[in-house]
Amino acid sequence: MRTGVRYVRNAPAFGIVLVRLAAFVFGYAAIPALLAVAVRTRLPSTVGGYGVAPGVFGAGSVLAAVFVLPRIRSRMSVGALTALGAVVVAVTVLAGVATFTTLPAVLPGLLIGGGASMVVGSLMQVSAQNALPDWVRGRGLAIVQLVYQAALAVGAVVWGALAGAFGTPAALIAAGGATMALTLAAIAAGARLRAVEGLDLRPASLWAAPAAELASGAAPDDGPVLTLVEYEIGDDDTVTFQAAMRDVGRARRRDGALRWSLATDAERPTRQLESYLVSSWAEHQREQSRLTRADARPLRAAYDLHRGQSRPSVRYLLGHHGRLHLHGRRRG
């Protein structure tokens, strides 16, 4: 679980999906929270009438999944579709229910808004999966569900409180405005779903550093393991190298590093030392296999700047309690 949370904290593309999802669901929460109240107080109807309202909303979701999404997906980007879908939900459902006073007048908006909400939710799920490599996909999608449920619960509380204080129409209008405002604010702040498109998250195991020297003498629970990678970088390449290493550091943390740092040798400025710590030898072996092709690009760029005779040297240091464990096992 800690590894999954650490991955999310250091995966900007996946974080964008979570921000966009929360921005949409927070306003969308007014629909399940207030639709029953609106039907009872603003759209005078029988109990069967309330059954019709969510039924039409659900029918819109089914129709959009079968007929609409397959046709428009190839014509618009994921980011544009989700932004448009959020606006459609805000206008047709939230503002529509707040404005009209008869159930028949509201039903077309519920049909269209149901389809739009399905499009947004479906594309958010697809984006989340595209932003996660195989090894962490289950944990990442669990965090997606956590964010969804949290935004839904918080939104329901906020819009319910506003409805109690200012009336249902005001709360629905506020929820619609919040849906559009938060979506546009997220886009303006750089949370654009195109960051997820084109990520190559296939394994890049060829770039894993060999570790046969220590593997023969270390048990899976030995550790922590400190990895030291030594680069020889020319003065002219220092700025470029350090920029690439910032991305490398983020990738190391995603893949399991508890700490990561880059230091310059004070006596020999051309020597750059990367160090990162993982919790155990087993976690180190997992970290070696988690590198993706997208993460390999900055690592390859850093390696290409190395001026040594061979690849940068790599050393592994086993933590003290790991050494004691090894000593006790050998004595036995």
Whole-number pLDDT of residue 221: 83
The 10s digit of each residue's pLDDT in 37-79 is 888 887 776 667 778 888 999 999 999 999 988 888 888 999 9
Asked whether residue 200 is assigned to any structural domain, the reply reads no
| Residue 30 and residue 150 share a domain | yes
Note whether residue 8 is domain-resident.
yes
**Does residue 288 have a pLDDT over 90?**
no
Q: Are residues 83 and 212 in the same domain?
A: no
Q: Are residues 178 and 46 in the same domain?
A: yes
The residues that bridge with 306 in the sheet, in sequence order, are 233
pLDDT, the chain, mean: 88
Statement to judge: residues 189 and 55 lie in one domain: yes
**Same-domain pairing of 189 and 51:** yes
Structural domain count of the chain: 2
DSSP bridge pairs for 230 = 273, 313
* Residue 239 is assigned to a structural domain of this protein: yes
Is position 115 within any domain?
yes
**CA geometry: angle 283, 286, 288, nearest 5 deg:** 115
- 171 plus 42 within the same structural domain: yes
pLDDT-based confidence at 139, cuts 50/70/90? very high
Distance CA 125, CA 144 (A): 8
- CATH code of the domain in which 273 resides: 3.30.70.100
Whether residue 274 is predicted with pLDDT greater than 60 in this model: the reply is yes
pLDDT tier, 173 (very low <50, low <70, confident <90, very high otherwise) = very high
Indicate if 36 and 182 belong to the same structural domain.
yes
How far is the C-alpha of 134 from the C-alpha of 116, rounded, in Å?
29
- Residue-wise pLDDT for 301-318, tens only, equals 999 999 977 789 888 888
- Answer yes or no: do 234 and 155 share one domain: no
Helical (H) or strand (E) element with 303: helix 293-304
Q: Are residues 18 and 165 in the same domain?
A: yes
CB 106 within 8 A of CB 52: no
Task: For residue 55, tell me if it sits in a domain.
Answer: yes
Q: What is the mean pLDDT of residues 130-138?
A: 93
With a CB cutoff of 8 Å and minimum separation 6, the contacts of 40 are 50
Based on the domain organization, do 66 and 191 belong to the same domain?
A: yes
The CB density around residue 177, as the number of other CB atoms within 10 Å, is: 14
Give residue 198's pLDDT.
Answer: 80
Nearest to 26 by CA among 118, 96, 90, 99: 90
Binned at pLDDT 50, 70 and 90, residue 239 comes out as: very high
What is the domain extent for residue 6?
2-195
What single letter denotes the amino acid at residue 244?
A: A
CATH number at residue 79: 1.20.1250.20
Nearest alpha carbon to residue 278 among 231, 328, 317, 326? 317
| Average pLDDT estimate for 257-280 | 94
| Residue 47, Cβ density class (10 Å: 0-12 exposed, 13-18 middle, ≥19 buried) | exposed
Distance CA 98, CA 90 (A): 11
Give the percent of the chain with pLDDT over 70: 91
* Same domain flag for 176 and 217: no
pLDDT of 28 reads 97
- Do 167 and 225 fall within a single domain? no
Is 46 a domain residue? yes
Output the pLDDT for position 45: 66
| pLDDT above 80 for 146 | yes
For the residues 151-162, what does the mean pLDDT come to?
97
Instruction: Provide the token pair at 8.
Output: 């999310």
Q: What is the pTM of this model?
A: 0.86
